[in-house]
Amino acid sequence: MRLTFLGNGIMASTMISRLLKSGYEIEVFGRDEKKLSDFSKKFDKKLETFTYKNDIDIGDKIVVLCVKPHALEKISHFFKGEAALIISVLAGTTIATLRENIKAKNYIRAMPNIAAACGRSMTTITGDKTSQDEAVKILDAIGKTLWVESEKELDTATILAGSAPAFLALVAESLIDGAVKEGLKRSDASLLTKGLFDGFAKLLEEYAHPALIKDAVMSPGGVTAKGYSVLEEHKVRSAFMKIYQKNI
C-alpha cells in the first residue's frame, strides 16, 4: 500500500522508518529540496520525495499530514482532488480545520509519540469511524493504537502520550543528576535509570494500580517514604495534574 506524507520532520521520519519496514511504499512532499534529499538518505529503502507545487493530485490517496500545525493553511493550496483518507498528527488541529483546508472522504486525527521510532508509540486516534480499521492497521506499524470517541479526549491524550516523553525525560535526567550530585558515576546512574524505566514499564502492566507499586516499595520510616514525602512537599503530583490545563 502507498502512503503520501506531507512533511519531512521528526515525526514523519520516525513513522516512515517503521512503515517502510512493514512494507508500505512512501512518497514524501516537503518545501525544501535539500532537506528532502537528506531525509530520504536516512532510510534503507527507497522513498520518493517531491517539493510542493501547484495542482498536486491527492485524489484517492491516503495522506499522512505531518507538518507543523501553522503550516497547514500555507500548504493546503498546493493540492487538488479528494484524498481517500487524511491521517493528521497535527497537535490541536481539529477535524473541522482539516476539512476546511484539505479535501478528503474521511479524516482521522492521530496522536503518536516519539517512541514510534522503535515501534513503541502509544497512539490515540479519533475521527470518521468508517476509516477506523484502516487507520489502526497503518498506525499499528509504529506501536499500539487506541481509538477514543471524541476530539476532546484526543487533546488530553496528546499531553499524556504525545508530550509526556519530554516530561519523563525530565524525570530521568533529574534522577541521574541527583545521583551524580551524591557521587555516583554518570555512566552508572544512566545505566541504572534505563534499567529502572524498562523494569517499571513491566510493573505497570502487572500491578492493578500504580499506588500498589509504591506501597510495595515504601516501608515504614524508610528512605523511600522520606523521598516520597519530599516529592509531595514539592507538589510533584499537583504539577503533573496541572500539565493538562490549557492555560498554564
Ligand X SMILES: NC(=O)c1ccc[n+]([C@@H]2O[C@H](COP(=O)([O-])OP(=O)(O)OC[C@H]3O[C@@H](n4cnc5c(N)ncnc54)[C@H](OP(=O)(O)O)[C@@H]3O)[C@@H](O)[C@H]2O)c1
Q: Which stretch binds ligand X (CB under 6 A): 85-93, 182-190, 222-230, 232-240?
A: 85-93
87 forms part of the interface with ligand X (CB under 6 A): no
The rounded distance, in Å, linking the Cα atoms of 63 and 177 is 43
Q: Which stretch binds ligand X (CB under 6 A): 53-61, 84-92, 190-198, 202-210?
A: 84-92
Contact 17, 40 (CB under 8 A): no
Q: At what angle do helices 186-206 and 210-217 cross, to 10 degrees?
A: 120
Q: What does the per-residue mask of binding to ligand X show for 147-166, with x meaning CB under 6 A?
A: ---------------x----
Candidate list 16, 58, 85, 111; residue touching ligand X; CB under 6 A: 111
Q: Which residue has the cell 506499524?
A: 141
Cβ-closest residue to ligand X?
9
Dihedral angle of Cα 205, 237, 215, 183, to the nearest 10 degrees: 100
Q: How far is the CB of 1 from ligand X (least distance, A)?
A: 21
Candidate list 112, 131, 142, 143; residue touching ligand X; CB under 6 A: 112
Candidate list 7, 127, 131, 141; residue touching ligand X; CB under 6 A: 7
Candidate list 32, 100, 133, 177; residue touching ligand X; CB under 6 A: 32
Candidate list 21, 25, 35, 171; residue touching ligand X; CB under 6 A: 35
Q: Which stretch binds ligand X (CB under 6 A): 109-117, 139-147, 184-192, 198-206?
A: 109-117
Adjacent-strand bridge partners of 25: 2
What residues between 47 and 76 interact with ligand X by CB under 6 A? Answer: 66-69, 71, 74-75
Contact 110, 125 (CB under 8 A): yes
120 forms part of the interface with ligand X (CB under 6 A): no
Q: In the complex, which residues of this chain contact ligand X (CB under 6 A)?
A: 7-12, 30-32, 35, 66-69, 71, 74-75, 89-91, 111-114, 162
